[in-house]
Amino acid sequence: MRLPELRVMGVDPGLTRCGLGAVEGRPGAPLRMVAVGVVRTPAEDDIGARLVAIEAEIERWLDEIKPDAVAVERVFAQHNVRTVMGTAQASAVAITCAARRGLPVALHTPSEVKAAITGNGNADKKQVGTMVTRVLRLDAMPKPADAADALALAICHVWRGAAQNRLAQAQALAGRGRPVALQPGYRHPGAGR
């Protein structure tokens, strides 16, 4: 059974730079970049004004891109509390915008995304950008890194989200959530890249 194409918008949250990217495709088939960009807000602006600017741009993207799902980077603890707070606030804006439209939202940790894209959960930004460029067959690496990270989130969700949905559907069909074995020869779409 061939899986339907999925259009996913990725959000790499941040107050100063919030990366946005959208891809379309299905696991096991080439993906296409739909759009990529960054929302920038001045550090000297009031926090409320910055969040409203991010919300307006995310809403504009949702109107234009019409994604099937939104993938947002899961906020993780850092030593810089101020950075974590800004990231969490921008993340909440993205989640709220998607939820307002009834879109499914998936949260992926940075290490999940890195592992899905490069095969290494500790990959650096250049490695992620290089693989995003390769996977999407782009002429140049998206810049800044926030833009490439947003595309990586979207790619990760197409690959991982589809696999997770298939497992959930198989378990539901098997009855009462009993585990179901994958078909022999099943291969993760990001394997061997």
Which of the residues are catalytic?
12, 73, 146
The DSSP output letter for 100 is H
Tokens standing for 121? 């959960």
Report strand pairing: 32-40 vs 105-108.
unpaired
- d(Cα 149, Cα 136) in Å, to the nearest integer? 13
Is the Cβ–Cβ distance between 90 and 15 less than 8 Å?
yes
The DSSP output letter for 159 is I
Q: What is the phi/psi pair of residue 105, to 5°?
A: -120, 130
Q: Give residues with Cβ within 8 angstroms of 107, minimum separation 6.
A: 71, 72, 73, 74
Burial of residue 82 (CB within 10 Å: 0-12, 13-18, 19+) is exposed
User: 187: phi > 0 → left, psi -120 to 50 → alpha, else beta; which?
Assistant: beta
Signed CA dihedral, 148, 161, 68, 136: sign only: positive
